């Protein structure tokens, strides 16, 4: 719903249901909060952070409006199970935000990277994304056919998916794949009323990155690659994700929305 009234411009998702993966922490938690503030009902998954998940549910209005599902995501079947849980809870899915992923923190030269690490990263960052999208698109198609306005898919990639990342080839490969997937899905689905876009953050201040960013020497080197000279706040990533699911983004599909302080142009 596009609302321009006396109080200004409102980004509203009233009456919509959003599925947000990796919603218990960091960017995901900020996105859950922001989608609830915009009026959407939200389902999000978590793996083990039950206390954080419960706190977010309480903060966002309780289980009638926000549901946390303990669901690991490492296979297509895991993704399909999460979609089924969301539909069982709220009857529909209007927005699917694919935010989850792992970034192995240790440097792994390609000649030394284990097959186990490669498979684990691919399973979480790519295979389960496929499962969520396959199931969500099937549901969105049926909703559009019976009169829903549109469906939205937003994939969360990274600067690493565009320029690579030495010693983290597994992570960069999955994030690059999400960019290609965004473009493929847009071409395939936009004519059926389903939009697909991508948000590509750089370094973001979260509990997952605090260990790296708190190291003075490493932080100085990393921040020197960001023209703005700082990491992003989680809300600065959640807000573009929200925007892409509103009618204000009604002529945007297949785009890679860079939200990285200019880093992707400077590296």
- Of the residues 171, 195, 243, 257, only one is catalytic, namely 171
What whole-number distance in Å separates Cα of residue 10 and Cα of residue 13? 10
CB atoms closer than 10 angstroms to residue 75: 15
**Closest by CA position to 136, among listed 185, 180, 100:** 185
Q: What is the rounded distance in angstroms from the CA atom of residue 66 to the CA atom of residue 85?
A: 13
Pairing of strands 17-20, 8-11: unpaired
CB 216 within 8 A of CB 252: no
Alpha helices, H only, the chain? 26-37, 50-59, 76-90, 115-122, 128-145, 160-163, 169-189, 210-213, 216-223, 235-244, 263-266
DSSP state of 126: I
Q: Give the tokens for residue 27.
A: 């960017």
β-pairing, 8-11 vs 2-5, is: antiparallel
For 248, residues 6+ apart whose C-beta sits below 8 A from its C-beta are 2, 11
Record the tokens describing residue 68, joined without a space: 């946390």
- Could you confirm whether 171 is annotated as catalytic? yes
Catalytic residues: 171
């Amino acid at each position: 719903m596009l609302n321009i009234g006396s109080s200004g411009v409102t980004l509203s998702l009233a009456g919509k249901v959003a599925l947000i993966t990796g919603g218990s922490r960091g960017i995901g938690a900020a996105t859950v909060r922001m989608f609830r503030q915009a009026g959407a009902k939200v389902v999000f998954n978590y793996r083990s952070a039950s206390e954080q998940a419960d706190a977010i549910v309480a903060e966002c209005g309780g289980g009638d409006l926000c549901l946390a599902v303990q669901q690991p995501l490492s296979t297509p079947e895991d993704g399909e199970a999460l979609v089924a849980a969301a539909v069982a809870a709220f009857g529909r899915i209007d927005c699917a935000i694919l935010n989850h992923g792992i970034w192995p923190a240790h440097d792994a030269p390609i000649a030394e990277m284990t097959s186990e690490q490669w498979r684990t990263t691919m399973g979480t960052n790519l295979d389960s994304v496929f499962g969520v999208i396959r199931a969500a698109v099937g549901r969105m198609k049926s909703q559009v056919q019976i009169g829903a306005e549109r469906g939205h898919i937003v994939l969360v990639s990274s600067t690493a998916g565009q320029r690579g990342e030495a010693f983290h080839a597994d992570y960069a490969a999955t994030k690059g794949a999400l960019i290609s997937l965004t473009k493929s899905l847009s071409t395939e689905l936009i004519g059926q009323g389903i939009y697909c876009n991508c948000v590509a953050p750089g370094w973001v201040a979260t509990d997952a990155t605090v260990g790296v960013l708190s190291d003075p020497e490493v932080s100085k080197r990393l921040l020197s690659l960001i023209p703005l000279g700082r990491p992003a706040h989680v809300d600065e990533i959640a807000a573009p994700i929200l925007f892409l699911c509103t009618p204000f983004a009604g002529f945007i599909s297949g785009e890679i929305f860079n939200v990285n302080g200019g880093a992707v142009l400077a590296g």
